[in-house]
Structure 1
């Protein structure tokens, strides 16, 4: 049973027949009845007149509902005179909820055009088609209920029931590394969201470290153009092709909110720096190994290819994001840059003092939360976030500079202040908001800002496990780069439930996304950069966020933010 529903965006939906006469309507009806049968649900009593033997006549039921969308149930007695209206009303309510529980995507083939006005017109047309479809669905539901109950609802609720995301796609000629299947995959060049976009996935935690394999893979697999989409994105300054199976298109939608979508004119005939394939069946991966079950990165000739097998366990956006960032980091290390798992912002106080502070730490260390706490302080004029999760250090004009990878953030809802998620609801994608480690994907900056190198003033290791009472102990600076490297390399943190880990853990450089896989090379690069920071006056220290200390989950990051604000105020 497919969780994702792909809606044809080339059709302008104006009447109920377009919905109820479509084969997908009968397929959904059949799937809903199958689920009810497995549960032995009392809702099935409503459609017992359509049961013959052990089977339900789906076609006859669909036709009856089609008539019911146009006429009152009392007028259909000559067709079926023993349908219970009260029970049928509950069945329709259940079917409507079942439809809304699906991941709903509308796709439309449109040739990409360079002219801005023409492109805007195409996107506007897609928006109108999406709105029209949503209106027809809602009106169909209301008409059915009205014709069954003989009354119209006193309270009308505009429930999200159309497409949650809409995509425009075209077929773009790109360098395919000899993999002929690649040119046939439709390429998404624009996305439109209908907020709030809420997706419920089958997993909400990430496991393990992604292995790296030297193996040619691209010319040994074959992705179908009917089941896959290509989403070209910029990960920092690198061009990636992320291929997503339609069943996992919710994670493709997440990409559009997290990274900059690359324009077809920028990717035409170009070779990508990295490739990600999300949702391929394990048996279609050549020489499949069980240790690849969550994710694997292949070094295929001169290109890194990340592969996430399709499974319930991997149905989590964290796998899409972290595999993408792992490939990015491997490329950075190959190019003698230092990838950083952390966050960074340019902080401006109302007094006029400014500083660029970078925080290093694994998931749940309090990096983003400390910046959010700073942003809520009255003394702070602006917190311009440049890096939310992954960035890179480089040396430019004899100074250490940094730049980011993502234009959005994949944030843990539990660690955000009350109300934050609702404040950003109109532009966010929510993942499993009812579960532990619930996440929201929200854009925070533009692409130009995040890839522009900026000189850093402070580099902090985010320590979330040490409880401190004395204000002077909230931030401690290191005397030597060797002392700093020891703490950063050890990568301690108190696990917060964002992965499968629990308790006090260690992770080399708090970066299991490329750094640990290429540890020897990474160590030499890290030593060079830390030495350079101490030589050029970058202050390197440890900030105690206490995010993993019981009782300080909310207060700890605010206390850390206040300590940092004081240091910035004292900065020369």
Structure 2
């Protein structure tokens, strides 16, 4: 990032390496403050309201430049003088004291607008002017945040000429801080356009982080193309950041446009960030450009198998349609899954937990199902019932994992891909979101398919490689009687394969699908596109499961049945505990 600041798509980026404000005067004199004020005034002019009338009538300024100058000057004066003193000393602002309540609304509106946009501060490792290279990053961010809050308080106090009795320590400065810098990696010739994009090295986040992306569902499948999409891509390297992620045992370089930075920062709660030592000199297994420009200027979400460079490549265009975390997460997992298929491993769209019962019995359980089938909800049902049944619960994966055949034990061994969970709030216990508030990222909490992203496991946990004891398909559409078990065990390999491959589920609004739907092997993220690779692996792994005595069946979660969204997964969990004990 070469500029001191930028604002786009309701996000402001402050480059602390180029300009760091230590005083109120520096803030109010900065180009960034002027830019925020300009965006605020333009927004209110497009939709004339009380604020715009106040500016035009009370200040008697209709020209944008004069409005900015007047408001900036008033704000500066209010940091050192009361409204009464300003009215007496500056004739042009004589109405300030007389109409101080109206001006209070103006100051509040500007402050509210500032807090409504996402605010990022960035420090670059290389030296810059007026920079902070040798000062502790977290401390610098905290001081700036305190400066903004204290400045707001001083201005409002001087304007109203009263001192409040209650002080609220709201996050008034920046939401997120990033340390970025260049990393040296062997860039193939086809990808040289990406060489100047800085890598994210550290993230400091104010949680809970509540964001409002433009979309809240994902649509359709990712399609394969047979020419490298990066070759024709338009990429302004000054507008991109790279998040280096460890997805399972694979290394991914995910290049994110600044307009989608919310989604990129949210990756820190989902995928383990690779360290400098893990990046240096290493070409990635997976490479994903999220927010590039296509030569045809059409929405595009595609992947490409780069045989020459032995990489999987993903590409999604910069379009409001893709401003949803599912497009970032699921494309990354699609690339991961296809590469695992090519290596002879079976990607699993599901959840896995290691459960230790209070009676000492334990089991490694995998629940397979597409979005909304009840995988995460079943895990949370296990957690909510833990006091009565469980002594310990470890999540191995919450959405996607991989089956390998263990070399030593010749059994199915499972590994995870993510350290976090991308959870649909609507179907969870009402208190869950509040329990996880302190570390979470909330996306569109006021809409259908509201989501929460929070860490649930360590990278060490998901990569330990545990043998599978119970393998279940999450059936969310079949109603279960009170005296009936939620679990059916399959008798043959073919019976099991038929149910797992059909991938039936009742849609829950996580995508644009409705009603009872099907998806190949409940996994539209790789297996769907590469069925020729996946078919023999399904046969191989399910045959191995029956040969080694794994319990293979279906778990009727009833999540897709009206009125059973909470009680269904709870009953399924209790029945599963019975199976473990047996």
Q: What is the Cα deviation at residue 294 of structure 1?
A: 5.3
Deviations 1:146-197 (Å, cap 9, x if unpaired)? 1111112222111122221111111111122212232211111111111111
Task: Indicate the residue corresponding to 2:547 in structure 1.
Answer: 535
Closer/same/farther in 2, CA of residues 177 and 512 from structure 1, 3 Å limit: same
Secondary structure in 2 aligned to 1:313? helix
Residues 328-339 of structure 1 correspond to what in structure 2 (within 5 A)? 328-339=336-347
Task: Indicate the residue corresponding to 2:138 in structure 1.
Answer: 127
Q: 1:374 aligns with which of 376, 382, 393?
A: 382
Q: What is the Cα deviation at residue 59 of structure 1?
A: 2.6
Task: Indicate the residue corresponding to 2:510 in structure 1.
Answer: 498
Deviations 1:239-258 (Å, cap 9, x if unpaired)? 00001111211111111111
Task: Indicate the residue corresponding to 1:268 in structure 2.
Answer: 280
Q: What is the Cα deviation at residue 50 of structure 1?
A: 4.4
How far apart in 2 are the matches of 1:359 and 1:90?
A: 53
Secondary structure in 1 aligned to 2:238? coil
Secondary structure in 2 aligned to 1:459? strand
Q: What is the Cα deviation at residue 352 of structure 1?
A: 0.2
Q: 1:285 aligns with which of 294, 301, 323?
A: 294
Secondary structure in 1 aligned to 2:497? helix
Deviations 1:125-153 (Å, cap 9, x if unpaired)? 21111111111111111111111111122
State whether residues 497 and 539 of structure 2, in contact with CA within 8 Å, keep that contact through their aligned partners in structure 1. Answer: yes
State whether residues 12 and 132 of structure 1, in contact with CA within 8 Å, keep that contact through their aligned partners in structure 2. Answer: no
**Are 2:24 and 1:9 equivalent residues in the alignment?**
no
Secondary structure in 2 aligned to 1:533? helix
State whether residues 4 and 248 of structure 1, in contact with CA within 8 Å, keep that contact through their aligned partners in structure 2. Answer: no
Q: What is the Cα deviation at residue 61 of structure 1?
A: 2.2
Q: What is the Cα deviation at residue 68 of structure 1?
A: 1.8
How far apart in 2 are the matches of 1:315 and 1:162?
A: 24
Q: What is the Cα deviation at residue 98 of structure 1?
A: 0.8
Task: Indicate the residue corresponding to 2:109 in structure 1.
Answer: 94
Q: What is the Cα deviation at residue 490 of structure 1?
A: 0.6
How far apart in 1 are the matches of 2:329 and 2:133?
A: 29
**Are 2:94 and 1:81 equivalent residues in the alignment?**
yes
Task: Indicate the residue corresponding to 1:226 in structure 2.
Answer: 238
Task: Indicate the residue corresponding to 1:118 in structure 2.
Answer: none
**Are 2:458 and 1:446 equivalent residues in the alignment?**
yes
Q: What is the Cα deviation at residue 222 of structure 1?
A: 5.0
State whether residues 375 and 382 of structure 1, in contact with CA within 8 Å, keep that contact through their aligned partners in structure 2. Answer: no
How far apart in 1 are the matches of 2:432 and 2:133?
A: 33
Task: Indicate the residue corresponding to 1:107 in structure 2.
Answer: 122
**Are 2:397 and 1:390 equivalent residues in the alignment?**
no
Residues 288-303 of structure 1 correspond to what in structure 2 (within 5 A)? 290=298, 293=299, 295-301=301-307, 302-303=310-311
How far apart in 2 are the matches of 1:227 and 1:287?
A: 20
Task: State which drifts further: 74-83 or 184-193.
Answer: 74-83
Task: Indicate the residue corresponding to 1:68 in structure 2.
Answer: 78
State whether residues 166 and 193 of structure 1, in contact with CA within 8 Å, keep that contact through their aligned partners in structure 2. Answer: yes
How far apart in 2 are the matches of 1:537 and 1:259?
A: 33
Q: What is the Cα deviation at residue 468 of structure 1?
A: 0.5
How far apart in 2 are the matches of 1:182 and 1:512?
A: 29
TM-score (norm 2): 0.92
TM-score (norm 1): 0.94
Task: State which drifts further: 123-132 or 262-271.
Answer: 123-132
**Are 2:226 and 1:217 equivalent residues in the alignment?**
no
**Are 2:72 and 1:59 equivalent residues in the alignment?**
no
**Are 2:271 and 1:259 equivalent residues in the alignment?**
yes
Residues 102-501 of structure 1 correspond to what in structure 2 (within 5 A)? 102-110=117-125, 125-178=136-189, 179-280=191-292, 284-287=293-296, 290=298, 293=299, 295-301=301-307, 302-377=310-385, 378-396=388-406, 397-501=409-513
Deviations 1:59-91 (Å, cap 9, x if unpaired)? 332122112222112222224213421111011
How far apart in 2 are the matches of 1:540 and 1:18?
A: 65
Task: State which drifts further: 68-77 or 22-31.
Answer: 68-77
State whether residues 177 and 218 of structure 1, in contact with CA within 8 Å, keep that contact through their aligned partners in structure 2. Answer: no
Deviations 1:404-434 (Å, cap 9, x if unpaired)? 1001111111111122111111111111111
State whether residues 359 and 461 of structure 1, in contact with CA within 8 Å, keep that contact through their aligned partners in structure 2. Answer: yes
How far apart in 1 are the matches of 2:122 and 2:511?
A: 33
Secondary structure in 1 aligned to 2:471? strand
Secondary structure in 1 aligned to 2:246? strand
Deviations 1:24-76 (Å, cap 9, x if unpaired)? 11111111111111211111233225454554521332122112222112222
Secondary structure in 1 aligned to 2:571? helix
How far apart in 2 are the matches of 1:163 and 1:72?
A: 28
Deviations 1:424-461 (Å, cap 9, x if unpaired)? 11111111111111111100111111112110001100
How far apart in 1 are the matches of 2:261 and 2:21?
A: 23
State whether residues 111 and 169 of structure 1, in contact with CA within 8 Å, keep that contact through their aligned partners in structure 2. Answer: no
Q: CA RMSD in A?
A: 1.9
How far apart in 2 are the matches of 1:32 and 1:205?
A: 29
Q: What is the Cα deviation at residue 531 of structure 1?
A: 0.7
Unaligned 5+ runs, structure 1: 113-120
How far apart in 2 are the matches of 1:137 and 1:55?
A: 24
Q: What is the Cα deviation at residue 8 of structure 1?
A: 2.6
State whether residues 306 and 312 of structure 2, in contact with CA within 8 Å, keep that contact through their aligned partners in structure 1. Answer: yes
Closer/same/farther in 2, CA of residues 522 and 60 from structure 1, 3 Å limit: same
Q: What is the Cα deviation at residue 469 of structure 1?
A: 0.6
Task: State which drifts further: 145-154 or 200-209.
Answer: 145-154
Task: State which drifts further: 127-136 or 474-483.
Answer: 127-136
State whether residues 400 and 533 of structure 1, in contact with CA within 8 Å, keep that contact through their aligned partners in structure 2. Answer: yes
